[in-house]
Amino acid sequence: MRTHRSALAIFSSVVGFISIATTAFGQSRFYLKSGDRVVFYGDSITDQRLYTTFAETFVVTRFPRMNVKFVHSGWGGDRVTGGGGGPIDQRLERDVFAYNPTVMTVMLGMNDGSYRPFDDGIFNTYARGYEHIIQSVTTHQPGIRMTLIQPSPYDDVTRAPGFTGGYNAVLLKYSDFVKELAAKNKLDTADLNNPVVEALKVANASDPAGAAKIIGDRVHPGSGGHLLMAEALLRAWGAPKQVSSVDIDVSAKKVVASNSRVSELQYGTSVSWTQLDEALPMPIDFNDPATKLSVKSSDFVESLNQQPLKVSGLTAARYALKIDGVSVGEFSNADLKSGINLAVLSTPMVKQAAQVHALTLKHNNMHFLRWRNVQVPMQNDKLSSMPKALAGLDAIEADVVAQQRAAAVPVAHKFELTPQ
Protein backbone atom coordinates (compact mmCIF):
# COMPACT_ATOMS: atom_id res chain seq x y z
CA MET A 1 0.00 0.00 0.00
CA ARG A 2 2.81 2.39 0.84
CA THR A 3 4.40 1.84 -2.60
CA HIS A 4 1.02 2.35 -4.30
CA ARG A 5 0.41 5.66 -2.57
CA SER A 6 3.89 6.82 -3.48
CA ALA A 7 3.28 6.00 -7.13
CA LEU A 8 0.01 7.90 -7.05
CA ALA A 9 1.70 10.90 -5.52
CA ILE A 10 4.44 10.84 -8.16
CA PHE A 11 1.89 10.54 -10.98
CA SER A 12 -0.20 13.34 -9.52
CA SER A 13 2.80 15.67 -9.42
CA VAL A 14 3.89 14.71 -12.94
CA VAL A 15 0.43 15.43 -14.30
CA GLY A 16 0.78 18.98 -13.06
CA PHE A 17 3.56 19.39 -15.64
CA ILE A 18 1.93 17.63 -18.56
CA SER A 19 -1.56 19.07 -18.22
CA ILE A 20 -2.49 21.66 -20.82
CA ALA A 21 -5.06 24.27 -19.85
CA THR A 22 -6.50 27.36 -21.50
CA THR A 23 -8.80 30.02 -20.06
CA ALA A 24 -11.02 32.96 -21.09
CA PHE A 25 -12.25 30.70 -23.86
CA GLY A 26 -14.44 32.34 -26.50
CA GLN A 27 -14.67 35.70 -24.73
CA SER A 28 -12.78 37.73 -27.33
CA ARG A 29 -15.25 36.70 -30.06
CA PHE A 30 -18.39 37.32 -28.01
CA TYR A 31 -20.54 40.35 -28.78
CA LEU A 32 -20.74 41.65 -25.21
CA LYS A 33 -17.73 43.08 -23.43
CA SER A 34 -16.94 43.91 -19.82
CA GLY A 35 -18.47 47.27 -18.95
CA ASP A 36 -21.44 46.88 -21.30
CA ARG A 37 -24.91 47.98 -20.21
CA VAL A 38 -27.61 46.04 -22.06
CA VAL A 39 -31.24 47.12 -22.38
CA PHE A 40 -33.75 44.60 -23.73
CA TYR A 41 -36.64 46.53 -25.31
CA GLY A 42 -39.89 45.17 -26.67
CA ASP A 43 -43.52 44.20 -26.11
CA SER A 44 -45.16 41.55 -23.92
CA ILE A 45 -42.86 38.78 -25.15
CA THR A 46 -39.89 40.73 -23.81
CA ASP A 47 -42.03 41.70 -20.81
CA GLN A 48 -42.26 38.00 -19.92
CA ARG A 49 -38.62 38.29 -18.86
CA LEU A 50 -37.75 34.79 -20.07
CA TYR A 51 -35.59 34.85 -23.22
CA THR A 52 -33.91 37.91 -21.74
CA THR A 53 -33.19 36.31 -18.36
CA PHE A 54 -32.01 33.11 -20.03
CA ALA A 55 -29.60 35.21 -22.11
CA GLU A 56 -28.45 37.06 -19.00
CA THR A 57 -27.86 33.87 -17.03
CA PHE A 58 -25.91 32.41 -19.96
CA VAL A 59 -23.62 35.45 -20.04
CA VAL A 60 -23.13 35.52 -16.26
CA THR A 61 -22.38 31.78 -16.02
CA ARG A 62 -20.30 31.49 -19.18
CA PHE A 63 -18.28 34.66 -18.43
CA PRO A 64 -18.42 34.94 -14.62
CA ARG A 65 -15.74 37.62 -14.48
CA MET A 66 -17.25 39.81 -17.18
CA ASN A 67 -18.99 42.88 -15.77
CA VAL A 68 -22.17 43.42 -17.80
CA LYS A 69 -25.36 45.09 -16.57
CA PHE A 70 -28.78 44.00 -17.84
CA VAL A 71 -32.05 45.96 -17.82
CA HIS A 72 -35.32 44.46 -19.08
CA SER A 73 -37.67 47.10 -20.54
CA GLY A 74 -40.45 45.17 -22.26
CA TRP A 75 -44.05 46.38 -21.98
CA GLY A 76 -47.07 44.26 -22.91
CA GLY A 77 -49.03 45.52 -25.91
CA ASP A 78 -46.27 47.80 -27.19
CA ARG A 79 -45.88 48.73 -30.84
CA VAL A 80 -43.27 50.90 -32.50
CA THR A 81 -45.39 53.89 -31.50
CA GLY A 82 -45.43 52.92 -27.81
CA GLY A 83 -48.34 51.65 -25.76
CA GLY A 84 -49.44 51.25 -22.16
CA GLY A 85 -46.18 52.67 -20.85
CA GLY A 86 -46.57 55.86 -22.86
CA PRO A 87 -45.75 57.02 -26.39
CA ILE A 88 -42.51 55.82 -27.89
CA ASP A 89 -40.43 58.89 -27.07
CA GLN A 90 -41.43 58.72 -23.41
CA ARG A 91 -40.71 55.00 -23.34
CA LEU A 92 -37.26 55.50 -24.83
CA GLU A 93 -36.37 58.42 -22.55
CA ARG A 94 -37.50 56.75 -19.32
CA ASP A 95 -36.91 53.06 -20.03
CA VAL A 96 -33.82 53.10 -22.26
CA PHE A 97 -31.79 56.33 -22.23
CA ALA A 98 -31.96 56.62 -18.44
CA TYR A 99 -29.73 53.53 -18.23
CA ASN A 100 -27.12 54.86 -20.68
CA PRO A 101 -26.92 51.57 -22.58
CA THR A 102 -23.98 50.53 -24.70
CA VAL A 103 -26.06 47.68 -26.17
CA MET A 104 -29.78 47.56 -26.94
CA THR A 105 -31.99 44.87 -28.40
CA VAL A 106 -35.36 45.70 -29.96
CA MET A 107 -38.10 43.17 -30.63
CA LEU A 108 -41.36 44.66 -31.92
CA GLY A 109 -43.83 43.47 -34.52
CA MET A 110 -46.20 40.96 -32.94
CA ASN A 111 -48.75 43.66 -32.09
CA ASP A 112 -47.81 45.95 -34.96
CA GLY A 113 -49.19 43.55 -37.56
CA SER A 114 -52.60 43.67 -35.82
CA TYR A 115 -53.11 39.87 -36.10
CA ARG A 116 -54.62 40.16 -39.57
CA PRO A 117 -53.52 39.59 -43.17
CA PHE A 118 -50.75 41.83 -44.43
CA ASP A 119 -51.88 45.42 -44.88
CA ASP A 120 -49.71 48.04 -46.57
CA GLY A 121 -50.96 50.90 -44.40
CA ILE A 122 -50.33 49.02 -41.15
CA PHE A 123 -46.90 47.97 -42.38
CA ASN A 124 -45.95 51.52 -43.37
CA THR A 125 -46.76 52.70 -39.85
CA TYR A 126 -44.43 49.98 -38.55
CA ALA A 127 -41.66 50.94 -40.95
CA ARG A 128 -41.83 54.65 -40.11
CA GLY A 129 -42.04 53.95 -36.40
CA TYR A 130 -39.08 51.59 -36.42
CA GLU A 131 -36.98 54.07 -38.38
CA HIS A 132 -37.84 56.71 -35.76
CA ILE A 133 -36.69 54.40 -32.96
CA ILE A 134 -33.33 53.84 -34.62
CA GLN A 135 -32.82 57.51 -35.31
CA SER A 136 -33.74 58.48 -31.77
CA VAL A 137 -31.59 55.82 -30.11
CA THR A 138 -28.49 56.41 -32.22
CA THR A 139 -28.81 60.18 -31.70
CA HIS A 140 -29.19 59.94 -27.92
CA GLN A 141 -26.65 57.12 -27.47
CA PRO A 142 -23.81 57.65 -29.98
CA GLY A 143 -21.80 54.48 -30.49
CA ILE A 144 -24.50 52.18 -29.14
CA ARG A 145 -24.54 48.65 -30.57
CA MET A 146 -28.09 47.71 -31.51
CA THR A 147 -29.39 44.21 -32.23
CA LEU A 148 -32.69 44.36 -34.08
CA ILE A 149 -34.60 41.17 -33.38
CA GLN A 150 -36.72 39.69 -36.14
CA PRO A 151 -40.07 39.08 -34.40
CA SER A 152 -40.68 35.78 -32.64
CA PRO A 153 -43.29 33.53 -34.28
CA TYR A 154 -47.02 33.28 -34.09
CA ASP A 155 -47.69 29.55 -33.87
CA ASP A 156 -49.21 28.48 -37.18
CA VAL A 157 -47.47 25.11 -36.89
CA THR A 158 -49.32 23.20 -34.19
CA ARG A 159 -52.71 24.72 -35.07
CA ALA A 160 -54.30 25.68 -38.36
CA PRO A 161 -53.75 29.30 -39.48
CA GLY A 162 -56.64 31.65 -38.83
CA PHE A 163 -56.55 32.98 -42.38
CA THR A 164 -54.90 32.09 -45.67
CA GLY A 165 -51.15 32.04 -45.28
CA GLY A 166 -51.35 32.57 -41.54
CA TYR A 167 -50.21 35.40 -39.28
CA ASN A 168 -46.64 34.19 -39.01
CA ALA A 169 -46.24 34.77 -42.74
CA VAL A 170 -47.12 38.41 -42.03
CA LEU A 171 -44.50 38.52 -39.27
CA LEU A 172 -41.93 37.11 -41.68
CA LYS A 173 -42.52 40.09 -43.99
CA TYR A 174 -41.96 42.37 -41.02
CA SER A 175 -38.88 40.29 -40.22
CA ASP A 176 -37.47 40.84 -43.70
CA PHE A 177 -37.93 44.58 -43.25
CA VAL A 178 -36.11 44.51 -39.90
CA LYS A 179 -33.18 42.70 -41.49
CA GLU A 180 -33.01 45.20 -44.35
CA LEU A 181 -33.32 48.15 -41.96
CA ALA A 182 -30.46 46.81 -39.84
CA ALA A 183 -28.24 46.37 -42.89
CA LYS A 184 -29.05 49.88 -44.07
CA ASN A 185 -28.07 51.35 -40.70
CA LYS A 186 -25.11 48.99 -40.11
CA LEU A 187 -26.80 47.41 -37.11
CA ASP A 188 -26.91 43.80 -35.98
CA THR A 189 -29.81 41.35 -36.25
CA ALA A 190 -31.01 38.16 -34.60
CA ASP A 191 -33.67 35.90 -36.10
CA LEU A 192 -35.96 34.66 -33.30
CA ASN A 193 -38.61 33.41 -35.71
CA ASN A 194 -37.29 30.76 -38.08
CA PRO A 195 -35.28 28.71 -35.54
CA VAL A 196 -38.28 28.47 -33.22
CA VAL A 197 -40.59 27.52 -36.09
CA GLU A 198 -38.20 24.76 -37.16
CA ALA A 199 -38.12 23.38 -33.61
CA LEU A 200 -41.93 23.56 -33.47
CA LYS A 201 -42.14 21.48 -36.65
CA VAL A 202 -39.82 18.84 -35.23
CA ALA A 203 -41.70 18.78 -31.92
CA ASN A 204 -45.07 18.65 -33.65
CA ALA A 205 -44.01 15.63 -35.69
CA SER A 206 -43.12 13.64 -32.57
CA ASP A 207 -45.51 15.04 -29.94
CA PRO A 208 -48.34 17.27 -31.27
CA ALA A 209 -49.96 17.81 -27.86
CA GLY A 210 -46.65 18.73 -26.25
CA ALA A 211 -45.62 20.94 -29.17
CA ALA A 212 -48.81 23.01 -28.80
CA LYS A 213 -47.69 23.91 -25.27
CA ILE A 214 -44.41 25.46 -26.39
CA ILE A 215 -46.32 28.60 -27.43
CA GLY A 216 -49.54 27.92 -25.57
CA ASP A 217 -51.57 30.92 -26.73
CA ARG A 218 -49.76 31.03 -30.10
CA VAL A 219 -48.13 34.36 -29.16
CA HIS A 220 -46.35 34.05 -25.80
CA PRO A 221 -43.89 31.15 -25.57
CA GLY A 222 -43.42 29.24 -22.36
CA SER A 223 -39.98 28.65 -20.88
CA GLY A 224 -39.06 26.10 -23.54
CA GLY A 225 -39.85 28.43 -26.42
CA HIS A 226 -38.03 31.31 -24.74
CA LEU A 227 -34.97 29.11 -24.24
CA LEU A 228 -34.88 28.61 -28.01
CA MET A 229 -35.28 32.35 -28.54
CA ALA A 230 -32.39 32.99 -26.15
CA GLU A 231 -30.32 30.51 -28.14
CA ALA A 232 -31.02 32.41 -31.36
CA LEU A 233 -29.99 35.72 -29.78
CA LEU A 234 -26.88 34.28 -28.16
CA ARG A 235 -25.79 32.60 -31.38
CA ALA A 236 -26.22 35.90 -33.22
CA TRP A 237 -23.89 37.33 -30.59
CA GLY A 238 -21.27 34.65 -31.23
CA ALA A 239 -21.73 32.82 -27.94
CA PRO A 240 -19.29 29.92 -27.40
CA LYS A 241 -20.75 26.43 -27.35
CA GLN A 242 -18.34 25.00 -24.80
CA VAL A 243 -18.38 25.53 -21.06
CA SER A 244 -15.15 23.62 -20.61
CA SER A 245 -13.45 20.55 -22.00
CA VAL A 246 -11.35 17.94 -20.20
CA ASP A 247 -9.62 15.01 -21.94
CA ILE A 248 -7.76 12.56 -19.68
CA ASP A 249 -5.62 9.81 -21.21
CA VAL A 250 -4.84 7.51 -18.30
CA SER A 251 -2.43 5.28 -20.21
CA ALA A 252 -0.42 8.21 -21.63
CA LYS A 253 -0.58 10.10 -18.34
CA LYS A 254 -1.78 13.21 -20.14
CA VAL A 255 -4.53 15.77 -19.57
CA VAL A 256 -5.71 18.37 -22.06
CA ALA A 257 -8.14 20.90 -20.61
CA SER A 258 -9.81 23.93 -22.16
CA ASN A 259 -11.32 26.57 -19.89
CA SER A 260 -10.54 24.28 -16.98
CA ARG A 261 -7.70 23.20 -14.72
CA VAL A 262 -7.17 19.61 -13.61
CA SER A 263 -5.02 18.71 -10.61
CA GLU A 264 -4.45 15.88 -8.12
CA LEU A 265 -5.04 13.23 -10.77
CA GLN A 266 -4.69 9.73 -9.35
CA TYR A 267 -5.35 6.38 -10.89
CA GLY A 268 -5.37 2.75 -9.91
CA THR A 269 -8.50 0.69 -9.74
CA SER A 270 -10.35 4.00 -9.64
CA VAL A 271 -9.46 7.31 -11.26
CA SER A 272 -9.87 10.61 -9.42
CA TRP A 273 -8.96 14.24 -9.94
CA THR A 274 -9.85 17.79 -8.93
CA GLN A 275 -11.36 19.99 -11.64
CA LEU A 276 -11.79 23.76 -11.59
CA ASP A 277 -13.64 25.12 -14.61
CA GLU A 278 -13.67 28.75 -15.68
CA ALA A 279 -17.40 28.75 -16.43
CA LEU A 280 -20.67 27.07 -15.51
CA PRO A 281 -23.11 25.24 -17.78
CA MET A 282 -26.47 26.71 -18.75
CA PRO A 283 -29.10 25.29 -16.38
CA ILE A 284 -32.02 23.62 -18.19
CA ASP A 285 -35.18 22.51 -16.42
CA PHE A 286 -35.60 19.06 -17.93
CA ASN A 287 -38.42 18.41 -15.41
CA ASP A 288 -40.61 20.78 -17.45
CA PRO A 289 -42.07 18.69 -20.31
CA ALA A 290 -42.34 21.61 -22.76
CA THR A 291 -38.76 22.67 -22.07
CA LYS A 292 -37.53 19.11 -22.46
CA LEU A 293 -39.37 18.78 -25.78
CA SER A 294 -38.08 22.16 -26.98
CA VAL A 295 -34.48 21.22 -26.26
CA LYS A 296 -34.91 17.76 -27.79
CA SER A 297 -36.36 19.34 -30.95
CA SER A 298 -33.55 21.86 -31.34
CA ASP A 299 -29.77 22.07 -31.30
CA PHE A 300 -29.56 24.10 -28.09
CA VAL A 301 -27.30 21.60 -26.31
CA GLU A 302 -25.07 21.03 -29.34
CA SER A 303 -24.72 24.75 -30.05
CA LEU A 304 -24.47 26.31 -26.61
CA ASN A 305 -24.14 23.79 -23.79
CA GLN A 306 -21.17 21.49 -24.29
CA GLN A 307 -19.09 20.44 -21.30
CA PRO A 308 -17.32 17.32 -22.55
CA LEU A 309 -15.39 14.97 -20.31
CA LYS A 310 -13.32 12.29 -22.06
CA VAL A 311 -11.38 9.60 -20.23
CA SER A 312 -9.46 7.01 -22.25
CA GLY A 313 -7.11 4.22 -21.27
CA LEU A 314 -9.53 2.73 -18.75
CA THR A 315 -9.59 -1.04 -18.18
CA ALA A 316 -13.05 -1.86 -16.80
CA ALA A 317 -16.22 -2.11 -18.92
CA ARG A 318 -18.32 0.34 -16.89
CA TYR A 319 -17.67 3.14 -14.42
CA ALA A 320 -19.70 5.14 -11.94
CA LEU A 321 -18.95 8.86 -11.85
CA LYS A 322 -19.17 10.75 -8.59
CA ILE A 323 -18.58 14.46 -8.16
CA ASP A 324 -17.97 15.64 -4.60
CA GLY A 325 -19.04 12.20 -3.44
CA VAL A 326 -22.45 12.37 -5.13
CA SER A 327 -23.36 9.97 -7.95
CA VAL A 328 -23.81 11.62 -11.33
CA GLY A 329 -24.30 8.51 -13.46
CA GLU A 330 -22.89 5.25 -14.75
CA PHE A 331 -21.15 5.09 -18.11
CA SER A 332 -19.52 2.52 -20.34
CA ASN A 333 -15.84 2.58 -21.14
CA ALA A 334 -16.80 3.50 -24.71
CA ASP A 335 -19.00 6.39 -23.52
CA LEU A 336 -16.17 7.84 -21.48
CA LYS A 337 -13.67 7.40 -24.29
CA SER A 338 -15.89 9.23 -26.80
CA GLY A 339 -16.96 11.79 -24.21
CA ILE A 340 -19.94 12.53 -21.97
CA ASN A 341 -21.57 15.96 -21.74
CA LEU A 342 -21.56 17.07 -18.10
CA ALA A 343 -23.82 20.05 -18.94
CA VAL A 344 -26.91 17.85 -19.27
CA LEU A 345 -26.29 15.82 -16.11
CA SER A 346 -27.29 16.65 -12.55
CA THR A 347 -23.88 17.89 -11.47
CA PRO A 348 -22.90 20.34 -8.74
CA MET A 349 -22.00 22.77 -11.52
CA VAL A 350 -25.49 22.64 -13.03
CA LYS A 351 -27.02 23.08 -9.58
CA GLN A 352 -24.80 26.10 -8.95
CA ALA A 353 -25.86 27.59 -12.28
CA ALA A 354 -29.52 27.08 -11.34
CA GLN A 355 -28.89 29.14 -8.20
CA VAL A 356 -27.41 31.88 -10.40
CA HIS A 357 -30.54 31.85 -12.57
CA ALA A 358 -32.74 32.14 -9.47
CA LEU A 359 -30.84 35.32 -8.58
CA THR A 360 -31.18 36.56 -12.17
CA LEU A 361 -34.95 36.27 -11.81
CA LYS A 362 -34.89 37.87 -8.38
CA HIS A 363 -33.03 40.99 -9.46
CA ASN A 364 -35.22 41.39 -12.54
CA ASN A 365 -38.35 41.03 -10.43
CA MET A 366 -36.98 43.72 -8.11
CA HIS A 367 -36.37 46.02 -11.08
CA PHE A 368 -39.90 45.32 -12.35
CA LEU A 369 -41.34 46.24 -8.94
CA ARG A 370 -39.35 49.47 -8.85
CA TRP A 371 -40.23 50.40 -12.43
CA ARG A 372 -43.80 49.27 -12.92
CA ASN A 373 -45.21 49.46 -9.38
CA VAL A 374 -43.49 52.62 -8.12
CA GLN A 375 -41.77 54.76 -10.76
CA VAL A 376 -44.33 54.71 -13.58
CA PRO A 377 -47.59 54.85 -11.56
CA MET A 378 -46.27 57.78 -9.51
CA GLN A 379 -44.23 59.60 -12.15
CA ASN A 380 -46.59 62.59 -12.25
CA ASP A 381 -47.16 62.88 -8.48
CA LYS A 382 -44.13 65.12 -7.83
CA LEU A 383 -43.27 63.36 -4.57
CA SER A 384 -40.13 64.69 -2.91
CA SER A 385 -39.41 61.25 -1.49
CA MET A 386 -39.44 59.55 -4.90
CA PRO A 387 -35.75 59.93 -5.86
CA LYS A 388 -34.65 58.51 -2.51
CA ALA A 389 -37.17 55.68 -2.71
CA LEU A 390 -36.07 54.70 -6.22
CA ALA A 391 -32.43 54.89 -5.19
CA GLY A 392 -33.18 52.57 -2.28
CA LEU A 393 -34.84 50.04 -4.56
CA ASP A 394 -31.91 50.31 -6.98
CA ALA A 395 -29.54 49.59 -4.08
CA ILE A 396 -31.50 46.45 -3.18
CA GLU A 397 -31.33 45.25 -6.77
CA ALA A 398 -27.59 45.98 -6.87
CA ASP A 399 -27.11 43.83 -3.77
CA VAL A 400 -28.94 40.95 -5.47
CA VAL A 401 -26.82 41.38 -8.61
CA ALA A 402 -23.70 41.23 -6.42
CA GLN A 403 -25.00 37.94 -4.98
CA GLN A 404 -25.67 36.69 -8.51
CA ARG A 405 -22.13 37.46 -9.65
CA ALA A 406 -20.60 35.89 -6.55
CA ALA A 407 -22.74 32.77 -7.05
CA ALA A 408 -21.50 32.46 -10.66
CA VAL A 409 -17.83 32.06 -9.75
CA PRO A 410 -16.90 28.40 -10.34
CA VAL A 411 -15.42 26.30 -7.54
CA ALA A 412 -13.23 23.19 -7.61
CA HIS A 413 -14.88 19.77 -7.55
CA LYS A 414 -13.56 16.31 -6.78
CA PHE A 415 -14.24 13.74 -9.55
CA GLU A 416 -14.02 9.99 -9.11
CA LEU A 417 -14.55 7.15 -11.59
CA THR A 418 -15.08 3.74 -10.02
CA PRO A 419 -15.37 0.42 -11.88
CA GLN A 420 -18.77 -1.28 -11.67
Asked if residue 382 is part of any domain, the answer here is yes
Angle, in degrees to the nearest 10, between helices 289-296 and 194-206:
110
In a domain, 287, yes or no: no
The verdict on residue 119 lying in a domain is yes
- CATH number for position 103: 3.40.50.1110
Is there a domain that residue 293 lies in?
A: no
Give the burial string for 80-108 (b: 16+ CB within 10 Å, else e).
Answer: bbbbebbebeebbebbbbebebbbbbbbb
224 and 267 both lie in a single domain: no
Q: Is the pLDDT of residue 231 over 60?
A: yes
Do 173 and 321 sit in the same domain of this protein?
A: no
Q: Do 104 and 165 share a domain, yes or no? A: yes
Q: Are residues 199 and 256 in the same domain?
A: no
Residue 285 falls inside a structural domain: no
pLDDT over 90, % of the chain:
92
Q: Within this chain, do residues 96 and 203 fall inside the same structural domain, yes or no?
A: yes
C-beta separation of 311 from 335 below 8 A = no
Q: Any idea which of 245-249, 251-255, 313-317, 345-349 has the lowest mean pLDDT?
A: 251-255
Number of domains in the chain: 2
Confidence of residue 133 (pLDDT cuts 50, 70, 90): very high
What is the pLDDT averaged over residues 387-397?
A: 97
Q: Is residue 296 part of a domain?
A: no
- Full DSSP string of 68-110: -EEEEEE-TT-BTTEETTEEHHHHHHHHTGGG--SEEEEE--T
Q: Are residues 369 and 236 in the same domain?
A: no
Evaluate whether residue 61 is within a structural domain. Answer: yes
* Same domain? 14 vs 135: no
Within a domain: residue 290? Answer: no
Last residue of a domain, one of 240, 270, 298: 240
Give the pLDDT confidence of 87-120 residue by residue, as tens digits: 999 999 999 999 999 999 999 999 999 999 999 9
Please check whether residues 110 and 95 belong to one and the same domain: yes
Full-model pTM: 0.93
Statement to judge: residues 48 and 108 lie in one domain: yes
Same domain assignment for residues 111 and 253: no
Could you give the CA distance from residue 205 to residue 65 in angstroms, rounded to a whole number?
A: 42
Give the pLDDT band of residue 26 (cuts 50, 70, 90): low
What is the domain extent for residue 249? 1-25+244-278+307-420
Q: What is the pLDDT of residues 258-287, one digit of tens each?
A: 999 999 999 889 999 999 999 999 999 999
pLDDT above 60 for 18: no
HEC-encoded secondary structure of 286-339:
CCCHHHHHHHHCCCHHHHHCECEEEEECCCCCEEEEEECCEEEEEEEHHHHHHC
Last residue of one domain, picked from the residues 217, 240, 263: 240
Is the domain of 72 the same as that of 170? yes
Residues 46 and 2 in one domain: no
